Amino acid sequence: MKKFLSLLLAAMLVMSMAACGTDTPASDDTPAGDDEVSEVTSVRILLPHIGDQSYMDVTANAAKLLAAKYGDAMDVQVVEMGDDEADWEPANMQAADEGHDIIISGNWQYEGAMLAVAAEYPDIMYLNFDYSSAEANSLDNVYAITYAAHEIGYLTGVVAGVKSQTGIIGGVVGQNNAGMNQFMAGYIQGAADANPEIKVIITYVGSYTDPATAKEQTIGMLNAGADIVWGCAGGSGNGVFEAVAEARAAGDETVWALGVDTDQYVSMSAQPELANTILTSGLKNCDVAITNAVTAMLEGTAPFGTQEMLGYATGAVGLAENDYYLANMTEEELAAVKALTDKVLDGTTKVVDELATPGVFDKYYEQYGLK
Amino acid sequence: MANIMDSFLSATFLFIVIRVGVPLLYASMSAYVASIAGIPNIAVEGIMIFGALFGVYFSAITGSAWLGLLGVILIGVVMALVMAFFTMKMNASPIMIGIALNLFATDFSVWLLMLWTGTKGTTATLPSKVLPTVNIPVIKDIPILGEIISGHYFLTYVCIALAVFIYILVYKTPFGLRMKACGLDEHAAESVGIKVNKVRLIAIIMSAVLAALGGAYLSMGYMSIFSSNMTASRGWTGIAANAVGGGNFLIVVLTTVVFSFAQGVVNRLALTALPSELVNIIPYVCVMLAMIFLSIKEMKKNKAN
């Protein structure tokens, strides 16, 4: 038995070495040269997972937009790297070895794995679709973009400020950090621009997967008089919809929830009583931004080695203006929202950014927080 | 600040304490029943996740919340049999099995979610049902008391009934005595003719069904959908409560009530401008204080002896 096992192991070792032997020339055969680019551009989008009905799925949707735009001239695929951090660098390494023209990955969590590999493959064009560290992304073959989260907050805040009848609005946030408070500072500013008398309650769930606690906090806000609550807390945000749905079922049709990242009215549509609480959502249109960035890369106009923050004016962030939203906003309310959001579009309104000027959230919350 | 203190003394606050406390009580009862029979169940969290997910799934495919609840009990039994097989037949450490089941449940539930809904976030695309909210006749009209104890979810009343049941079972029946005997010393129990494996199997099944019901409470009442990892460590809180109780059911329940109060206070204080990090540690500080209190008591008792 022992002998058989050792024979088996030896055989496997030989086989795997043989496999390596044939693999290496194969990958060398695949050129990443310029003549290849002119025919079929090969694009890979590397994500830890898809199917979150939110951020990852919007990002993955870029593959569809690119395929629609370029048709046969582009071979674009989404690669799931898995949630284990140790697998991200090998996944990037493998994608680079396969010799694609453009590799799209990044985001604060797994940009490190991408950048480590990008430095070794200067011929491949990299797009970091949601960068966090500016210094790390200064490589010559990396184009890094991010989204104006504060502007998402502002747009959502304007809707909340315009729609609120009690003059009290809430924000249920996943965790208390600068990134999340960047949303919230904009939210308060937007609401205050719409209604200078606005009062805001912000709570932190402390987790992105605890809808029950988010629900309790939302019920508390509603009891304190809030009538619009923005769930900005990943999976915990579902608790906000549950609490608002309960209040609406009890007869208070003036209370609303707001969603984030994707059009959550659409992703919740199979549960009408939950979906019907969602007036609108603040959108991070990663798919649109990626498509624009890839176009710029192919046309040679992408500013490699630099980082860009994409705001409302580029279409990278926005509001979910679906039929349900339009049906539940009056003409005057829509006009009021448009008047304020147009000012962001043309640059007359500068939205405060917690990441650029730390402390601005505290200042706003001090002024407008419900005492 | 004064109106915050007032709100802690109101009927609504006690109602909230019950609402947030029920999943914790399910978890601590689950941990308790298994541990007194000598098989510590640290898979409470994982079984809760499965209970929450399968309840939603079975209610969606059968179109009935009650059949969904039956599915929850079934999945509890299945998990119990898996645990029993490995711990009693294969002589594996219950702690290792618990760790394995927790890890398994966390990832496998997401995989099932993907299989059934095509997403990894929620079961929002499944037409699932929720168990009813119960207004108790007569009691609901009594001022204050009615506000506190009427109008809860169905599984809230099941939880309270099960707590009474477990108390009677453990302290007033021969079977309860056998459970404790198996927990204290299995060889001694065996020597007086107790079928240790049978007693433990029943205890594990009770434990896993309790945990599964705790999960179902979250996804079939409290919430109307499952969302991934929605148990958010409530199972571990239950295990902690059981550890504080040290085999005494009333202390286990009391500890859980303290946790529930603390959680209610946290939820209320979250609305104030107090730093959230500070507020969120209240339940854990309560655990520490309870532990210190109990060990001081224990020390005094030992000295007196």
> Does the beta-carbon distance from B126 to A211 stay under 8 Å?
no
User: Would you say the pTM of this structure is higher than 0.80?
Assistant: yes
Across the interface, whether the CB atoms of A213 and B267 are under 8 A apart is answered yes
Query: A60 is written with which tokens?
Result: 């993955």
pLDDT value of residue A213: 93
Domains for chain A: give ranges and CATH numbers.
3-147+286-312 (3.40.50.2300), 149-284+315-368 (3.40.50.2300)
Residue B225 sits at the chain A interface (C-beta within 8 Å): yes
User: How far is the alpha carbon of B44 from chain A, nearest alpha carbon, in Å?
Assistant: 17
Interchain CB distance below 8 Å, A212 and B20: yes
From B228, which residue of chain A is nearest by alpha-carbon distance?
Answer: A209
Residues forming beta bridges with residue A199, ordered by sequence position: A168
Q: What percent of chain A has pLDDT over 90?
A: 73
**Cβ atoms A368, A200 nearer than 8 A:** yes
Confidence band, pLDDT 50/70/90 cuts, at residue A6: low
pLDDT at site A18? 47
Q: Does domain B2-304 have CATH number 1.10.3470?
A: yes
User: Domain residues of chain B, as ranges?
Assistant: 2-304
pLDDT at A25 over 60: no
Closest by Cβ to A52, choosing from B119, B232, B277: B119
- Asked if B273 is an interface residue toward chain A (Cβ–Cβ < 8 A), one would say yes
What confidence tens digit (pLDDT) does each residue in B53-105 have? Answer: 999 999 999 999 999 999 999 999 999 999 999 999 999 999 999 999 999 99
The better pLDDT of the pair B136, A186 is held by: A186
What's the whole-number average pLDDT of chain A? 88
Mutation target for A interface from B223, B229, B274, B279: give the one with most A CBs within 10 A: B223
Chain B residue numbers with beta carbons less than 8 Å from the beta carbon of A223 are: 12
Q: Tokens at residue A9, please?
A: 């192991």
What is the predicted pLDDT for the residue at A3? 60
How many Å lie between the alpha carbon of A326 and the closest alpha carbon of chain B?
23
CB spacing of B114 vs A221 below 8 angstroms: no
Q: Residue A215's closest CA among A170, A185, A270, A182?
A: A170
Q: Is B197 on the interface with A (CB under 8 A)?
A: no
Q: Give the pLDDT confidence score for residue A232 in this predicted structure.
A: 93
Cβ distance of A238 and B23 shorter than 8 Å: no
Query: For position B85, what pLDDT does the model report?
Result: 95
- Tell me the pLDDT tens digit for each residue of A259-317: 998 899 998 888 899 999 999 999 999 999 999 999 999 999 999 998 889 999 999 99
pLDDT for B290: 77
SS (H, E, C) chain A: CHHHHHHHHHHHHHHHHHHHHHHHHHHHHCCCCHHHHHHCEEEEEEECCCCCCCHHHHHHHHHHHHHHHHHHHEEEEEEECCCCHHHHHHHHHHHHHCCCCEEEECHHHHHHHHHHHHCCCCCCEEEECCCCCCCCCCCCCEEEEEECHHHHHHHHHHHHHHHCCCCEEEEEECCCCHHHHHHHHHHHHHHHHHCCCCEEEEEECCCCCCHHHHHHHHHHHHHCCCCEEEEECHHHHHHHHHHHHHHHHCCCCCCEEEEEECCHHHHCCCCHHHHCCEEEEEEECHHHHHHHHHHHHHHCCCCCCCEEEECHHHCCEEECCCHHHHHHCCHHHHHHHHHHHHHHHCCCCCCCCCCCCCCHHHHHHHHHECC
Using an 8 Å Cβ cutoff, are B292 and B31 in contact?
Answer: no
The pLDDT tens digits of the residues spanning A267-278 come to 888 889 999 999
How distant, in Å, are the alpha carbons of B74, B220, B222 from that of B42?
19, 23, 24
Q: Would you call A204 and B276 a contact, using CB atoms and an 8 Å cutoff?
A: yes
- Measure A15 CA to nearest chain B CA, in Å: 32
Give the tens place of pLDDT for each residue, A56-78. Answer: 888 999 999 999 999 999 999 99
Segments of chain B with pLDDT less than 50: 1
- Write the residue in A204, A211, A217 that is nearest to B223 by C-beta: A211
| d(CA A217, nearest CA chain B) in Å | 6
B252-271 residues touching A, CB cutoff 8 A: 267-268, 270-271
pLDDT of residue A11: 59
CB contact under 8 A, B273 and A224: no
Q: ipTM score here?
A: 0.88
Give contacts of A369 with chain B, Cβ < 8 Å. Answer: 273
Least Cα separation, residue B285 to chain A (angstroms): 16
Contact A204 B121 (CB under 8 A): no
What's the pLDDT at A147? Answer: 92
Give the per-residue pLDDT at B152.
94
Contact A192, A216 (CB under 8 A): no
Cβ–Cβ of A206/B120 closer than 8 Å?
A: no
Chain A interface includes B127 (CB < 8 A): yes
pLDDT at B217: 97
Q: Report pLDDT for A215.
A: 96
pLDDT of residue B142: 87
Q: Which helix (H) or strand (E) covers residue B85, if one does?
A: none
B27 touches B234 (CB < 8 A): yes
Do B225 and A274 lie within an 8 Å CB cutoff?
Answer: yes
Concatenated DSSP letters of B282-303: HHHHHHHHHHHHHHHHHHHHHH
The residues of A whose Cβ lies within 8 A of any Cβ of B are 49-54, 57, 176, 201, 203-204, 206-207, 209-213, 215-217, 219-221, 223-224, 235, 238-239, 242, 245, 267-268, 270-271, 273-274, 365, 369, 371
Kindly list the residues from chain A whose CB atom is less than 8 angstroms away from the CB atom of residue B20. Answer: 212, 216
The percentage of residues in chain A with a pLDDT greater than 70, rounded to a whole number, is 90
Distance in angstroms (rounded) separating the CA atoms of residues A286 and A141: 20
